[in-house]
Amino acid sequence: MQRFKILEYALSSLGRRKGKHLSIIAVYAFTISVLASILLLSHALREEASAILADAPHVVVQRISAGRHDLISTDIIDPVRQIPGVGEVRPRYWGYYFDGITGANYTVLGIDDRRTVELELLEGALPEAPGECAVGGGVSELREAGIGDELVLVDSRGVGVIFEVVGAFRSESNLLTNDLVVMSNADVIEFFDLPQNRATDLSVEVFNPKEVQTVAAKIKVLYPDTRPITRSEIIRTYDAVFHWRSGMVLMVFFSALIAFCILAWDKATGISAEERREIGILKAIGWSTSDVLELKFWEGAAISVTSFLLGLIAAFVHVFLLDAPALAAVVKGWSVLFPQFRLTPSLNLYQIFVMGFLTVVPYVASTVIPSWTAAITDPEEVMRA
């Protein structure tokens, strides 16, 4: 019962300085929402990348020339296929296209038109004949090219080539296909004027996933000028890119954390004369030191818990209901074609608990500790000070 009375007094005490405490709650909740938005967004992006790219090629083999990616000879396909454990080895033909009209970069990707592929996220069909293409949502929107329309691109000889759009990727696949222009391998070779027997890179299938590293090592021994990139390396790349320690995310994260530290430091470095007088009066009328500390604990806990919950709610709404508009602008950079994507919500409760522990506990401590120094001083001295 006494505890409730102290809580009641703590809440009344907060109410007496309503403006000050409401502004602390607003700043505290905003800081928590920034921190939580970053953690939720980076975690969701990381989970999405590893889920989507889980079926990326087992090994991609690039040729490195003078330290840079170069076209690879298709003559090595058969020797690579002879390596035990290797299944299909397919040349990949792809490249980049700068569209002078819109200022955007597209990724032009070739597919083997002899393979029949059914794609749930494609309206229309994949290109099967020369002069046909399928486009991603971003390209379709930017060039106003839907199914049945024409897409004019300038090839490497400077000649405009007309492609008929036969397929358009649905918006659910924007994270993968937003800037894609898919055409047949023959069209890509012709468009970029690639030399004969040369491909952009090779895609190697390995039957046993445990042998991927061994196969990659054998390819490297057979062809020292190549760089095999395994599926696990691809997934690890995105794990690093969207890790909370990565560049921009870390910068925003630390800015918010420093703002919070300043808030807590301001509380910890001292209490106002009015608060000291209040503690002195409470001691003089018979409150014990532990009662005063409990009072201050409840004051700190009430502000902390309210702000933490408000911040978390704001972060959830911002990231998963509004698709993180504030952070998307930071992540977007200079991309002309930036996908409108909807993230699959993904929670890491451990991160939330750690954030709660790192913010609520220091704030409560920074409220209680300066009050403790006042509470153990003689009440008369405190009131006279």
Footprint of other proteins on residues 186-205 (CB under 8 A)?
A: 201, 203
- Scanning 74-82, 157-165, 305-313, 362-370 for contacts with other proteins by CB under 8 A, the matching segment is 305-313
Binds other proteins (CB under 8 A): choice among 39, 111, 135, 181: 111
Phi, psi values for residue 180, rounded to 5°: -85, 140
Within 117-146, the residues that bind other proteins by CB under 8 A are 117, 119-122, 136, 138
Q: Does 165 bind other proteins (CB under 8 A)?
A: no
Binds other proteins (CB under 8 A): choice among 197, 335, 340, 373: 335
Determine how many CB atoms are found less than 10 A away from the CB of residue 246: 15
| Contacts of residue 362, Cβ cutoff 8 Å, sequence gap at least 6 | 264
Question: Which x/- pattern, by CB under 8 A, does the window 42-81 give for other proteins?
Answer: ------xx-xxxxxxx--x-x-x--xxx------------
- Scanning 78-86, 99-107, 255-263, 275-283 for contacts with other proteins by CB under 8 A, the matching segment is 99-107
Pairing of strands 68-70, 59-65: antiparallel
- Scanning 100-108, 189-197, 267-275, 359-367 for contacts with other proteins by CB under 8 A, the matching segment is 100-108
- Cα–Cα dist 159/345, whole Å: 46
| Distance (Å) of CA 87 to CA 46, 100, 217 | 29, 41, 16
Taking the least distance from each CB to other proteins, the nearer of 227 and 369 is 227
Within 5-44, the residues that bind other proteins by CB under 8 A are 7-8, 11-12, 15
Closest CA to 104 of 58, 79, 140, 68: 140
Q: How far is the CB of 49 from other proteins (least distance, A)?
A: 6
- Cα–Cα dist 116/139, whole Å: 24
Determine how many CB atoms are found less than 10 A away from the CB of residue 191: 23
- Scanning 145-153, 177-185, 188-196, 270-278 for contacts with other proteins by CB under 8 A, the matching segment is 177-185
Our measurement of the distance from residue 37's CA atom to the centroid of its chain's CA atoms, rounded to an integer in Å, reads 10
Within 261-300, the residues that bind other proteins by CB under 8 A are none
- Cα–Cα dist 364/28, whole Å: 13
- Cα–Cα dist 375/369, whole Å: 10
Residue count (the chain) = 385
Q: Does 326 bind other proteins (CB under 8 A)?
A: no
Q: How far is the CB of 219 from other proteins (least distance, A)?
A: 7
- Cα–Cα dist 329/115, whole Å: 39
Phi, psi values for residue 189, rounded to 5°: -60, -45
Burial of 323: CB neighbours in 10 Å, binned 0-12, 13-18, 19+: middle
Structure tokens that stand for 32 in this block: 């928590």
Within 230-259, the residues that bind other proteins by CB under 8 A are 230, 232-234, 236-238, 240-241, 243, 245-249, 251
Taking the least distance from each CB to other proteins, the nearer of 213 and 289 is 213
Taking the least distance from each CB to other proteins, the nearer of 116 and 269 is 116
Q: How far is the CB of 236 from other proteins (least distance, A)?
A: 7
- Scanning 208-216, 254-262, 272-280, 354-362 for contacts with other proteins by CB under 8 A, the matching segment is 208-216
Binds other proteins (CB under 8 A): choice among 27, 189, 229, 293: 229
- Cα–Cα dist 25/362, whole Å: 15
Binds other proteins (CB under 8 A): choice among 312, 324, 368, 374: 312
Binds other proteins (CB under 8 A): choice among 125, 147, 161, 176: 176
Taking the least distance from each CB to other proteins, the nearer of 53 and 268 is 53
Pairing of strands 94-99, 201-206: unpaired
The structure tokens 């003089």 sit at 284
